[in-house]
A and B are shown apart, each in its own frame.
With several copies, the nearest count.
Chain A
Amino acid sequence: MITKIDKEFIKTLAREGKREDGRAFDQFRDLKIETGFAKNAEGSALVTLGETRVLAGVKLSVGTPFADTANEGVLMVNAELGPKASPEFETGPPKEGAIELARVIDRGIRESKCIDLEALCITPKEKVWMVSVDIDPINDGGNILDAAGIAAIAALHDVKIPKLDEDVRPIFGTNSGKLKLRHIPIPVTTFKVNGALVMDPDFEEEASAEARLTVTSVEGFLCAMQKGGESNFKTEEVVRAAETAYAKATELREVVKQAVGL
């Protein structure tokens, strides 16, 4: 969907320290977050990052805990890269890209320990809350991963836990209080475009990138990382990407806080 000439143009610009839309390499596009977007979800958020739009919805249900974590609720993150969002996406079961997307976001949330899974236990060994976060990209304008990670954590912060009936089944539409979260993990991905380290690419820049590194962080800590792409990073590039991502996450976290009312 991107021509060879466009790719070469973007790469040449990158080598010269420039971007087509004039942004600095570490400059994000405008970030907007709208929580409560999907009324039938227990929590949801629509994230707009330039032309990119990602919706995340959280559904809560009551289920049986895993045998080895019998006192903990269950968090599941799922993503689809469906064809509505991009001519390059296909129908069918999630492929590597969607699976990796879901798993990177899952680890960012899980490893940050922002959710107290023990607080989601209703009856040990028997009944716990199952928290399903579904990521639904609406328009792939580039950098879906960061938008999706922000949408996921914003949607979790939007969650109202339903009340339970006498059979310990959730009563749809009720609210027994918000899901308590301790942190706001933010993924920031650095892309390598012709050797330059670039953040928040549009889809043409992303298609021109040879490697990427996602760094998810909370206040004070990195909590998850994932390198991807067909090429590699030098050690100093990795370190630089981690530092910049951490700093950038601090900025973006403020936008999330405002959106979720913290």
Chain B
Amino acid sequence: MSEEHKKIIVGDRRPDGRALDEMRPITAKAGVISRANGSAHFAMGSTVAIAAAYGPRELHPKHLQDPVRAYLKYVYAMAPFSTQDRVKPGPSRRSTEISEVSRQAFNSVIFLEEFPKAGIEVFVEILQANASTRCAGINAASIALADAGVPMTDLVSSCAAGKVDGKIILDVAGEEDTEGEVDMPIAYIPRKDEIALLQMDGLLTLDEFKEALELAKKGCMQIHEKQVAALKERYVRVASEIAKKGPVRESAEEVA
């Protein structure tokens, strides 16, 4: 990145009009895929993820079964039409790494020891990508796992801080992503105050890093609220349906 590039943040105003510590609008909805045990739709601006969760269920192939705890499977994928250039279906090195660090972010919050030999599986798909897709995926997966009734100590929440034109900002997107200096996604577990995922690309001083970390944590707290609200809304919806017509199979929900 050459030093003379045109500034994209002018006087603490970002290209899309946000303040430095402002997130993009968030929408979150639980229960959008009737065939999955749990599911969610999560959007941060124009980054859109859906997640389906299953489990605990019988695990195949058998050699993956762990005699003392459930096997947690986390698959992150991008829809072929989710980005500027078509994404070839099937795992890539990038998606393999994201799946792995995302799985690790959930590892400590799920009571895996309660389901020896079983599989708990989350499938995340990015329908539309505009930065922070792994964060949106984790946020959707959290809701989907809770919606599936998987016992967890807390919801995992994820967002990114970054550095653009020398300023630490929350939730990098658009031009900021392609032209910015740093992207730093984290996943956070509020109840335990723990960092469950942390990646950083770009040049940050130690002080900038500390500032970015605190900012990202604040972002995660906001997302956490949206996640909780989505789950509450889901319970209300299910309850009212049961009240209406008895405990029948539930109808499909809007994906978006």
Binds A, one of B6-14, B18-26, B186-194, B226-234: B186-194
What A residues does B86 contact at CB under 8 A?
A: 59, 61, 132, 134
Residues of A close to B97: CB separation below 8 A: 96, 99-100, 103
Contact of A113 with B203 in the complex, beta carbons under 8 Å:
yes
B26-67 Cβ-contact flags toward A at 8 Å (1 or 0): 000000111111010000001000111010010000000000
What's the count of A-B pairs with C-beta under 8 Å?
194
B90 engages A225 (CB within 8 Å): no
Across the interface, A238 reaches (CB within 8 A) one of B83, B84, B90, B213, namely B213
Q: Assess the B202–A111 pair: CB atoms within 8 A.
A: yes
- Is B125 interfacial (CB 8 A cutoff)? yes
Interface centre among B32, B36, B193, B251 (most CB of A within 10 A): B36
A258 within 8 Å of B by Cβ? Answer: no
A179 vs chain B, min Cβ distance (A): 14
- The one of A57, A82, A112 that contacts B81, using a Cβ cutoff of 8 Å: A57
Q: What does DSSP make chain B's interface, helix, strand, loop or mixed?
A: mixed
With contacts A37-B256, A82-B77 known, is A225 near B184, CB below 8 A? yes
User: In the complex, which residue of chain A has the Cβ closest to the Cβ of B2?
Assistant: A118
- Residue A78 interfacial (CB < 8 Å): yes
Q: Which residue of B lies closest to A102 (CB)?
A: B93
CB nearest neighbor in A for B130: A40
Is the beta-carbon distance between B197 and A227 smaller than 8 angstroms?
yes
Per-residue interface assignment for chain B, residues 176 to 219, with 1 indicating a CB less than 8 Å from any chain A CB and 0 otherwise: 00000000100001001111111111111110011001000100
CB neighbours of A78 from chain B (8 A): 80, 89
12 A-B residue pairings within 8 Å (CB atoms): A37-B256, A38-B82, A40-B81, A51-B35, A51-B251, A55-B255, A93-B90, A136-B125, A138-B33, A232-B108, A233-B195, A238-B195
The reply on B113 being an interface residue by CB < 8 A is no
Given contacts A231-B108, A238-B198, contact A139 B82 (CB under 8 A): no
A193 to chain B, nearest CB (A): 16
Cα distance A232–B110 in the bound complex, in angstroms: 13
- Min CB gap B140→A, angstroms: 10
Q: How far is the CA of A213 from the CA of B200 in the complex (A)?
A: 11
Q: Does A191 contact B (CB under 8 A)?
A: no
Answer whether residue B85 sits at the interface, using C-beta atoms and an 8 A cutoff: yes
Interface-facing stretch out of A11-19, A42-50, A120-128? A42-50
- Top 6 nearest A-B pairs (CB, nearest first) are A57-B81, A41-B81, A84-B52, A225-B200, A232-B194, A59-B86
Contact, CB under 8 Å: B104 / A229: yes
Q: Verify B127–A141 contact, CB threshold 8 A.
A: no
Encode A149-181 as 1/0 by CB contact (under 8 A) with B: 000000000000000000000001000000000
Q: Once the chains are docked, how many angstroms separate the CA of A164 from the CA of B51?
A: 35
